[in-house]
Chain A
């Protein structure tokens, strides 16, 4: 279990669902917007996902041994499926989460965290991407830090995005 997964598990056990939902709000929103092909429906479905997560975990439901981030993605997936099928999106969740049957992976369980993903890149590209995508520097700031040009930084970032796109393709 990663440090982030351990943090989530601790928050869940101590009843800090508000903090967990605040942590994952944008993750849920992005997935719902992508899944509905529109920001309006995406925002509405994201509300449903967060309501479901809150209600179920507040009531004590747990999926033992499964990282919270995986549960978030799976509940989002279920809710999007309900939305597309025209079903209610606020009904109770299943009691069990069968990793194999549900294909919970969906690019999540097996997905590499970004730092691991970046290790697949050459050293200069990895260092550049860490500054922008891990530390949050702008490309201009990254160029200054590395003593290179903005153009070089753009080129190196291009390769990281290409890897992300490959991940998307793998995921369907």
Chain B
């Protein structure tokens, strides 16, 4: 059986069981056949009645509609402390520099780190930690003033779009604002996990 078929069957079965399959992760696994898998999944989702979301999914969506980053809302819902999450991440990602890992995690959780360059290993580790895909939860959907959060991400300066949004939305955590999204002069393995290679 072709790889794309196997991936499709796996994703489809997870979806109808009410899980939250990580579609971008499946597409990454499909490699050159990602477009074909995307077409197949799209067609499938159009003919399958969507399953009821979990109460956690709904609560996280509500938080994102109130201007809160979804991962922060999910962690709060699960009653997990940042340090607990970072400890688990450090083990799963085999990272020794825990303080810097914590800073990256907090930036990701706070919605001030661009999620696109984040390495698949980080998403995999976070999925294991929270037992659900968190990739699409990073950004809020709406600012606290009711505007489009994506508009802020797009309109901000190159080195501070997330920080600008953060400053407007959640000024209660000023420590996270300022150095957000500012690339380090040289990237080591930990930097590359969260910022990519470029």
Report A's interface with B, CB cutoff 8 A.
Answer: 2, 4, 17-19, 21-27, 29-31, 33-34, 37, 39-40, 43-44, 46-48, 50-51, 54-55, 69, 73, 89-90, 107-108, 111-114, 117, 132-139, 154, 157-158, 161, 164-165, 167-168, 171
B42 adjacent to A133 (CB under 8 Å): no
B40 adjacent to A133 (CB under 8 Å): no
A161 adjacent to B139 (CB under 8 Å): no
| CA distance in complex: A137, B28 (Å) | 23
B16 adjacent to A157 (CB under 8 Å): no
Check A108/B46 contact, CB under 8 A, given A90-B150, A132-B12, A136-B17.
yes
Check A26/B45 contact, CB under 8 A, given A43-B136, A134-B16.
yes
Contact of B53 among A19, A158, A167 (CB under 8 A): A19
User: Chain A's nearest CB lies how many Å from the CB of B61?
Assistant: 4
| CA distance in complex: A145, B86 (Å) | 42
Which of B1-9, B163-171, B185-193 touches A?
B1-9
Check A133/B13 contact, CB under 8 A, given A31-B42, A54-B141, A111-B46.
yes
List residues of B (34-84) whose CB comes within 8 Å of A's CBs: 35, 38-53, 57-58, 60-62, 65
Q: Which residues of B contact A23 (CB under 8 A)?
A: 50-53
B46 adjacent to A33 (CB under 8 Å): no
Q: How many residues of B contact A (CB 8 A)?
A: 54
Task: Decide yes or no whether B108 CB sits under 8 A from chain A.
Answer: no
Chain A residue at minimal CB-CB distance from B56: A22
Check A26/B16 contact, CB under 8 A, given A21-B61, A90-B148.
no
Which of B18-26, B90-98, B173-181 touches A?
B18-26
Question: Shortest 10 CB-CB distances between A and B: which pairs?
Answer: A136-B17, A22-B53, A39-B24, A90-B148, A18-B62, A22-B61, A4-B49, A136-B16, A34-B42, A114-B47
Chain B residue at minimal CB-CB distance from A40: B116
A51 adjacent to B141 (CB under 8 Å): yes
Q: Which residues of B contact A134 (CB under 8 A)?
A: 16, 48
Contact of A29 among B40, B52, B136 (CB under 8 A): B136
Check A167/B141 contact, CB under 8 A, given A18-B62, A136-B13, A136-B16.
no
| CA distance in complex: A138, B10 (Å) | 7
Task: Decide yes or no whether B131 CB sits under 8 A from chain A.
Answer: no
Check A47/B150 contact, CB under 8 A, given A29-B23, A136-B17.
yes
User: Chain B's nearest CB lies how many Å from the CB of A10?
Assistant: 13
A–B Cβ pairs within 8 angstroms, 18 of them: A18-B65, A21-B141, A26-B21, A39-B24, A43-B116, A47-B139, A55-B148, A90-B148, A107-B43, A111-B47, A113-B48, A133-B48, A134-B48, A136-B17, A138-B13, A158-B1, A161-B8, A171-B43
Chain B residue at minimal CB-CB distance from A164: B43
Q: Which residues of B contact A55 (CB under 8 A)?
A: 142, 146, 148
User: Chain B's nearest CB lies how many Å from the CB of A57?
Assistant: 11
| CA distance in complex: A19, B38 (Å) | 25
A133 adjacent to B24 (CB under 8 Å): no
Check A51/B43 contact, CB under 8 A, given A18-B65, A43-B24, A114-B48.
no
Q: Which residues of A contact B142 (CB under 8 A)?
A: 51, 54-55
A34 adjacent to B39 (CB under 8 Å): yes
Q: Which residues of A contact B46 (CB under 8 A)?
A: 27, 73, 107-108, 111, 167
Q: Which residues of B contact A90 (CB under 8 A)?
A: 147-148, 150-151
